[in-house]
Amino acid sequence: MSLILILLATYLSKVEQEVLELEKNISPYVVSLRTDEGNLIMTGTIVEKNHIATVGFIEIGQTVHIEDRFGNLTAGSVIGRDPSTGIHLIKAQKEFKIPSPGGEIKQAQICYIYGNSFGSMGLIGMGFIQSPEGISFNLSAPLSPGNNGAGVFDSEGNLLGIVAGCVNRSVLPENLFRNTNNFAEVVKVNYILNTVEQIKKIGVVKRAWLGVIIENNTPLNMGVIVKEVMKDSPAELAGIKKGDIIIALNNNNIPHLERLKEMILIEEPGKTVTLKIIRDNNKMEIPVKLAEMKDAEPKSLPDFKIEKITPKKFIENKEQLKEFLAEKILHLSEELEELKEEFEKLK
């Protein structure tokens, strides 16, 4: 029994050292961000030498103060935003070390989150990847205010994405002291880099539009079935029809809807792509010139109905928070008095 305990202690010690080494390696890639007012704290992840990605309640043109792990300060400004995911790009006045982008993201893969939590930088936690299809994935991990924009890394220290928000979590005062696991929505690094290039090049983010509504995936995930073709859309102009099965785009297989969404979103509007389809048991290749997605058009985007975890609600509801804390303190005081009375009776 003692031998087993010794082996277990040795293993845990080794794991601890590996995690500490990983934290040391990834910490230069993540910074703390503050607005001019100083009351809004976020995390930013380095994506290029002087460009930082985050998600938060900031405006284009706004000045942001950047602090690295050593406490060094520099300034930056918000130069663009992707309305689809809420990603903001900040241009810094100094250069930083750049993380290597990760490779294929797999179901149940272990990864680590590093960022700002309630104003303190460090390793927030680890989690397992869920639903890795598409431009984002879910991550089971404990989150807290300030984690927006935190970097998500694999065990080798490669960047997989950044935290865009928290799924099904409330940051209202009544949930402040609840210690529960949450699901983070993480935008993949390749999508972020595509966003960065667009903002740098043209100052805005433009997304491509195909113009189809998908019914479902085929058996064995070998394509997606077109339920409807939108009027005057690129798909209609190219000759795509209801009932067509899309199996590939530019010779890249389309096993499910999320893969199709991802591949369309990273293409440039105006670019011609080749769809490989099956119609009436015959394979066909159809060139389609993608259009720019307009706000009025149905968006083929992931559902980002998630709650941002930058502590804006605490700023907006200071009085409510004060009342809540005062009530908590009063309740604890009453309990303490009751315990004192019980103790006196026992004497």
**Same-domain status, 288 and 305:** no
E strand segments, 218-261: 224-229, 245-249, 252-253
Do 127 and 266 share a domain, yes or no?
A: no
With 0.75 as the threshold, say if the pTM is over it.
no
- Nearest-CA neighbor of 22 among 159, 137, 169? 159
> Does 6 fall in a domain?
yes
The one-letter code for the residue type at 338 is E
What CATH number is attached to the domain comprising 43? Answer: 2.40.10.120
Residue type, 113: I
Q: Does 15 share its domain with 124? A: yes
Among 197, 185, 198, 209, residue whose Cα is nearest residue 85: 185
Question: pLDDT per position in the chain (347 positions), as tens?
Answer: 565 555 555 545 666 677 788 888 899 999 999 887 655 678 999 999 999 999 877 888 999 999 988 889 999 999 988 877 888 999 999 999 999 998 888 888 888 999 887 777 888 788 888 877 778 888 877 777 778 899 999 989 999 999 987 654 444 444 444 444 467 888 999 889 988 888 888 777 888 899 999 877 777 778 899 999 999 999 999 999 999 999 999 998 888 887 888 888 888 889 999 999 999 999 999 999 999 887 544 444 333 333 444 444 444 455 555 565 566 566 666 666 776 676 666 65
Give the closest residue to 22 by CA, choosing from 151, 196, 183: 151
State the Cα–Cα distance between residues 167 and 188, nearest whole angstrom: 16
Number of domains making up the chain? 2
In this structure, are 148 and 180 located in the same domain?
A: yes
Domain match, 43 and 176 both = yes
Which residue range forms the structural domain that includes residue 227?
Answer: 208-292
Q: Is residue 346 part of a domain?
A: no
> Do 107 and 195 belong to one domain?
yes
